[in-house]
Structure 1
């Protein structure tokens, strides 16, 4: 009777395994057709990994089954190459030469020569050690909330500690008596009363001798005196000066407001709210009030000297000087208001 394909395949495998180098040859043959993982698609990679997992699972189950099941084919029952075609001695004491010749595994239960007997059976003991659970533990939400709150409080505490440290350092620097006199300071330690002393102190802080620079000393004394008198006149006057166009052009508004201890925002808001038309109306009123003054013009008293303007009778005025001279006089009396001669002539009353 002929063999089927399964029997033929089995015989071929047995014949193949007789060759001692068959494993190396098989691995070389498989490596020719092996495709690396980066060259495969995502589905093929997942398929290959799943196949490896299944094979590894089978191998583990097989090993567990072998460890649990008793070893039916013991090494002692298998004859070694040295025993082929030879018989063991049935009686008589065992000698070291016999054990060496036939092998220690072939003597079942007999006493071995020597000081102690030897058992060839392997004893395996499985210890049930508690392994660590590496799974992710679920943490309570309230605990996580408390941890976040704690971290927030720690950050705020660190900021406050840093702020306290900076303030303490600043306080030590201010209150320290050992100050280097050669180092210029922005503010004097004690407020100096007179403008002369302030000018001298400012020159010395800048490293200039007051005797060597008398012109600078005199200019500073004059500046301090004027600033002191203007400050005494009131905040209203100071704000009007602060909003002037000349100071804005020279960018000295901030420095002047700091020296007078004024809030620059108040003066700026008043000027910013006023539009061009409002400024022109205010300027017109000032010019009209200036020209109707007794020293600049005289009112005509007659009935025929009156003229109707906007349903009202208005008396006529006669100027006591030329418009050019009156314009110069207006500019001297109002240095803050900037007005040209053309605008001054345009703003005069019609009658």
Structure 2
């Protein structure tokens, strides 16, 4: 019976290995690598299938290696048994055979490979950690820069805010002209309230509640605009809702009894001889020249 195509190819590869040796194996490895696909690109099913196949090949290779070692040991034992003779014959023999069992370094090849792979993984982790720290620091720097830029940007004017709102709403020119004045007026009032609040806050004179009671009231509460008004002006919601009335009457207490007492004391003080200007004493009188001439005559 003739050979199959697989058997013919296998025999051909064996002949090439014996003829070219390591050159052929290197060429085959290079050829196989062109068809190799990384595990990350495979599906889970294909990856499991490849791993199972690799494990089977590795198990077969180890069994084959173990069989070769056992066969070599058996041959060495047979050789030693055949060379064993009596002391006289060994002394007269001119040929001496010595057996030296060198340790097989390939037994620890898997451990060395694992150790090297582990060291490489640790180095990669260390490099990735350093890169991560660098990128985290750079990200924080950029965030701070963005915050500073936001603080530097000026707020829009009432007119530009109104135009921007009209543009975002997609209104036509005619529709925009109808609502532009109302929007500008509302934005101007909000800007004025916000500026006044900032001035009061800087001076710290405690008039925030008064301002909140003026700009907020029953109508704002009815249409649920306290939160929006607080976000636009900066006034806290507590200050907007704490005011009870928009005006206060300053009452003046009479205290009539105290006023009469003080008036009487002032009058008595002024009517004293040493303080009065209406009826001065003799020491305070002054005689003119005409009166002196009359007295002398």
Normalised-by-shorter TM-score class: 0.3 to 0.5
After TM superposition, the score normalised by the length of structure 1 is: 0.28
After TM superposition, the score normalised by the length of structure 2 is: 0.32
- Which of 1 and 2 has higher RCO (CA within 8 Å, sep 6+)? 2
